[in-house]
Structure 1
Amino acid sequence: MTGDKAAQTAPVFTGRRWFIPSALLHELDPEAGRSGRRPRRTARDWIVDFACFLLAVLVGLLGAETLSNSHGLPPALVAADQVLGALSCGAIWLRRRWPLGLAVVMTPVSFVSETAGGVAVIALFTLAVHRPFRYVAWVAGAQMVLVPLYFWWRPDPDLPYLASIVLLLVLTAATVGWGMFVRSKRQLMLSLRDRARRAETEARLRAEQAQRLAREAIAREMHDVLAHRLTLLSVHAGALEFRPDAPREEIARAAGVIRESSHEALQDLREIIGVLRAGESDDTGRPQPTLAALDTLAVESREAGMKVTLEQRVTDPGAVPASVGRTAYRIAQEGLTNARKHAPGTEVTVSVTGGPGDGLTVTVRNPAPEGDVPPVPGAGQGLIGLTERATLAGGTLEHGPAAGGGFEVRARLPWG
């Protein structure tokens, strides 16, 4: 079960893997690299590596042309320079596996080979993308130190000595800065995805905990109700057993009570099927609220300073099942609590309508508050619990902005 949940929470990159670098993909989806020691190159990696290879070859060709136009260089030195440049271009394909090693090797190679200059720049950029700044600082510093010696040994015929040094130093600094920017952007993407993943997991866990707590509370309430029903059954069955000569009317009345109590007990049992039992029993002995307690709830809310309008249009309120009345009471109670927190000073309307066979409809509505309301703690866990209650009672609950503004909670509960 744990593996299934982990698989569900893991991000899915199907259809987009080709556009993500293999190193970044390995960080976002660790499962991708478990089949081997290193993640496979994606299509994007091949395109980028081939473009880097072509760029290094182009720079090498330009350097070879410069060498051929130079006079006074021995042919053996020119040939060795071109061989080193060709080998360096081939080493481009190793930049992802050994970015630090390639950059370190290319520092002295680019000093003695003009055709390997493009590979040195690409290796420095790769190092800035894939490794921390301390490695980049050492390699880039070494290359900057060698720049004046390089142009002293091989002066540029088209640029002055100082201008050549400044140009190459600026190019090196720009390469490092660009690579660090790419690295920070990737790290930001990883951080945002990780935060989103953790936020989704925490939200799911909070919702599951709220549902579990609601189930446990309902299980405690149903325990008290079932105990009351079974006690009635036991008392009236015992009376029939010990008074077989009782009048026919009393026997019929006792049988009716037994039948009605059995029916109510079965209804309560249907509600607690699948409900988790609480770890500790509730021994407080408090009477559970019913639909008749709505008047008291409205009076208490008014005494607390709220403007509450209670509308009850229920056919035969005394016949409402205890579990349905209790659920309706909890919905009205939570709706008034939310209105007091999120819309203080507004007039809240609590409407309860319905009858046997038609079901019971409970509506709690409040207009939008005037002015800004300071934020209060709460993340909708109460509404999650109400939805769980209504579902376990066989009904439904909807909540959201009302048509004319404000907020509305509407529940439909069965009454058969």
Structure 2
Amino acid sequence: MLLPAFPRPHRDDALIAIAGLAGGLLLRALGLHNNAGVRPLDGPWITLVPLVVMAAMELLRQTSPRTALTVGTLALVLDLFTPGNLVTLLMYTDLMYAAVLYGSPEMARRLPYATALTTIAATIGLIAWYREPHALLLGLIIGLVSIGPAATGALVRNHRDAADTARLRAEQTALLAEMDRTQAVNAERARMARELHDLVANHLSAIAIHSTAALSLDKPETTRQALTVIRENSVAGLAEMRRLIGLLRDSGGGQEPAAAPTLDAVDALIAQARANGEPSGLRFTLHDDRDGAASLPAPVELAAYRIAQESLTNALKHAAAGEVAVRITGEPGDALTVTVTSPFGQRPGPRAPGSGAGLVGMRERVALLGGEFEAGPVAGTDRGPVVWRVRALLPMEKDKEPTAWAQ
């Protein structure tokens, strides 16, 4: 017959079992007993049986608390019919405490009530049997042995569960804080990437186009004109880079941030684009149909300016010869629409390479404001040549906050 395999006992349980067994043997050697009166089992070694069984159950107090308490209860009942050993009683109180602390939640919830009912029933039975006042004292002893350890175990377990819950909540809070920090860092990096691209891409595109023209055309006048444009754009780009780097390095707030560009500065963008796009046969026009007296929310105005700037930069890079038209429309309280159309097709002159980051940045700006964005080839007016159209619809409700600052 195979005996059930129990888990290896904890080190503390083994120490408790050894200490209990040694203490019980010492009391027996000194002839100290705690049961008086009638003792049906009064052999020379009978007291050792409950003591050894109880010490063995101490080994299972954490790994198998239900089994330890059941067998320990039987050993305690056997001890009542012997001269008795005080250490056996003390070890039983520890088994009761461990059963509530380490047992299943259902066992921990029911055991204190079960011990209370058992104590009441035992007290009533003792009073009916002895019909003497000292029966109440025996009932009090039973309550101390059963109810006291069970209630203590329940109290300790509740505090332990509360501590575990608080620790888990703290870990979850720390995890959420780390996720928020990561999202904030990623959002800031994306914002910086958009800003850097919009500030420098226009100047670098013009430099790339005119340097290619200067290398491919062996004309002194053309070369001188291209070098002039290259110098102007490199100086302007360098100034923008220095301003942006200064803002990033100034963590103490000593440097005043530069004012955000507005749609009133689109005229300057058009003028710069005309100078940069002249060698490629590009013409630039602006149609601003807004109400000049109406004010725009700052995030909307900045996003519209950046979209127009990036669209003009893309036209300088990729558009065929022809007209590039920028149209801005909108009514106060409604939505602002920015539409940029440029000739679509191959052009014979030099062109700068593109990475696609500009379209991604424009789409992100519009999404942050809850608007609509589309970019792609469409048929021209009156079924004319195909044009590349960028269209951004930006809501202008005063009471609507953007999901993030659309920079």
Structure-1-length-normalised TM-score: 0.46
Structure-2-length-normalised TM-score: 0.46
Q: Which has the larger radius of gyration?
A: 2
